[in-house]
Chains A and B, each alone.
Chain A
Amino acid sequence: MPPAADTLRRTPLHDRHRDAGARLVPYAGWEMPVQYEGIRPEHVAVRTRAGVFDVSHMGEIETRGPGAERFLQRVLSNDVTKIAERGAQYSVLCREDGGVLDDLFTYRLGPDRFLTVTNASNHDKDLAWFRRQAEGLDVEVVDAHADWAMLAVQGPGARAALEHEASGELPPRMRTADLSVAGVDCLVCGTGYTGEDGAELMIPPDGAETVWDALLGRGVEPVGLGARDTLRLEVCFHLYGNDLSEERNPVEAGLSWCCKLDTGFVGSEALRGVEPEQALVPFAFTGPGIPRPGNPVATEHGSGVVTSGSLSPCLETGIGMAYVPVAANEPGSPIEVDVRGKVRAAEVRDKPLYRAKG
C-alpha cells in the first residue's frame, strides 16, 4: 500500500507546483508533479523550447577526504581518476555479484571532494552501501540530500534562458560551475536526462523558489515526471527499477562502456568474462499499440520482456526497451510484443530512438 499523502516528502517547490496546476502523485516516497498541462505538450516544450523539472527528490551523497578518490574508484564502476576537477561522470554501483544497485552521476568538486547524485528510491540503500564500503578508508561519506533542491533545465532554449539569469559562463556538457542563478548560489552541472542541451542546478532549498520563478519568467515551461520519462526513453537512457535492477548486470544492460574492470571496483570480478544471454535493446512498434513494462516479447531466438514502454510523442508510435536474447539484438530484427493478450509487431532499433535536433 502506498504511504498516505501526509507521510510523503515534499520538495521546496510544492506550493509552486500546486499553483501551476500540477497533478501531484506519490513517487519514491515523495509527492511529485507528474504533469501540469499534459505529458505530450510538456514533452514537446523540452524538444522545441525549454522546460524545467523539479527533481529535488533525487538524492546526493558527498564524499570527501584524502581517500575519497580511492574509495569511489572502489565502489563506482567507471574510472573515477578520469574525472577532471569540475568534471562529471556516469557510472553504476554494483554488488559483489555484479547486480546493479543504482546508476549515478558523480561530480568532482575538488581534488578530494565529490558529489554523487542518487535515484530517490535508492538513496538510503546507496548511502548504507557507501558507508559500509568506506570502513577503514580515510573518507567521509555525508548524506547531502537535505542540502540541495535540484532543477533540470532542458531543451534547445535552456541555455539562453539560464544565461540571462547566471552570473557567469555556463559550464559545457559534462562540466560544472559555481554560479549565481537569479541571485542564488548554485552548482550548475552540464548534464541532463532528456537528450537535449541544458543544465542541472543544485540549489540551496531556500533559494529554489527564486530560481524557479526566474526561469518561468524567462518563458521556461514547467515539466513533470511523466514527460521526463518519455523524453529519456526516446533517447534510450536507462531508468533504474525498470531497465536496471539488482537482478540485472550492467553488461546485459548495455553499460559495459562505463564499467572499467581494471579499476577493481566492487563487482568487477563477477563481471569479468560474463557472457550475457540477454541484451537490453530499444524497439519501436511498426503498427498500432503501446508497449508497457512487463509485456512479454517473442523473437526468432527466444523470449524476452519489456522493461520500459510508452507512446513516443516525437515518433508518434509505441516505443520501449526490452531484454531479448543476444542473438535477437540486431537493429531491424522483428520482434512481437504481447500487450495484454494482443500481439503487436515491433522491430529492434538503434540507439537513440530519437536524436535531438540541437
Chain B
Amino acid sequence: MAESYPEDLKYHPEHDWARVEGDEAVFGITWYAQDALGEVVFFDPPTVGSQLTKDEVYAEVESVKAVSDVFAPLSGEILEVNEALAEGPEKINHDPYGDGWLVKVRLSDPAEVDVLLDVTAYRDLLQSG
C-alpha cells in the first residue's frame, strides 16, 4: 500500500499507532515502520492478560533479515491479540492500520493519550528524521 497516516490515530515516536475508543485501544505499527523493516515474516504476540507499560517493548516483528521491537504507545492490559498474524504476518505490510493490527488493550491510564502525537506532529517527526 502507499504511504499513509490516518488522521484518527494517535502516534508514538517509535512508529507505533493507537486507535483509542474510550478506555480501550488497538495498537499497531505505522506505514513507515513496516516499510523500514521490509516484508514481515514473523510476529511473536504477547500473552492475553499481560500488562503493557507505555514506551516499553511488548512484542517483536521480524523480517527475513531483521528484528524490530514494538513499543507500547500506552499502558494497559492485553485483551486480545491478532491471531491472524500467525499465519499471515505480511498483513502488517499490506494493511498496517487494518488487518495488520497487533493487539487490543484496556488502558490503565487513558490520560496518557494526551502526550501522543497527532498525525501532523508525527509527519513532522518523520520529515525531521
Residues in A lying within 8 Å of B, measured CB to CB: 23, 34-35, 38-40, 43, 226, 229-230, 288-290, 292, 310-311, 313, 340, 342
Contact = CB atoms under 8 A, between A and B. Distances in A.
Contacts of B60: 340
A313 B39 CA distance: 12
Contacts of B64: 39-40, 43, 226, 230, 310-311, 313
B65 A310 contact: yes
Contacts of B62: 290, 311
Given A226-B38, A340-B67, 8 more contacts: A23-B38, A38-B39, A39-B38, A290-B62, A290-B67, A310-B65, A311-B41, A311-B62
Interface in B19-75: 38-39, 41-42, 44, 60, 62-65, 67
Contacts of A342: 44
A201 to B, nearest CB: 26
B65 A229 contact: yes
Interface of B: 38-39, 41-42, 44, 60, 62-65, 67
Contacts of A23: 38
Contacts, number: 39
Q: Which residue, A39, A226, A290, A292, has most C-beta atoms of chain B within 10 A?
A: A290
A34 B65 CA distance: 10
A292 B39 CA distance: 17
Contacts of B42: 288-290, 311
Contact of B39 (A39, A288, A290): A39
B24 to A, nearest CB: 28
Given A226-B65, A230-B64, A311-B64, A290 B38 contact: no
A34 B60 CA distance: 22
16 contacts: A34-B65, A35-B38, A38-B38, A40-B41, A43-B64, A226-B38, A230-B65, A288-B42, A288-B44, A289-B42, A290-B41, A290-B67, A311-B41, A311-B42, A313-B64, A342-B44
Nearest to A38: B39
Nearest to A39: B64
Q: Which residue, A39, A43, A292, A342, has most C-beta atoms of chain B within 10 A?
A: A39
Contacts of A310: 64-65
B42 to A, nearest CB: 5
A34 B66 CA distance: 12
A217 to B, nearest CB: 27
A43 B64 CA distance: 11
Contact of A39 (B44, B65, B67): B65
A215 B96 CA distance: 36
B104 to A, nearest CB: 22
A230 B38 CA distance: 15
A35 B66 CA distance: 13
Contacts of A288: 42, 44
A340 B61 CA distance: 13
Contacts of A290: 41-42, 62, 67
Contacts of B65: 34, 39, 226, 229-230, 310
Contacts of A38: 38-39
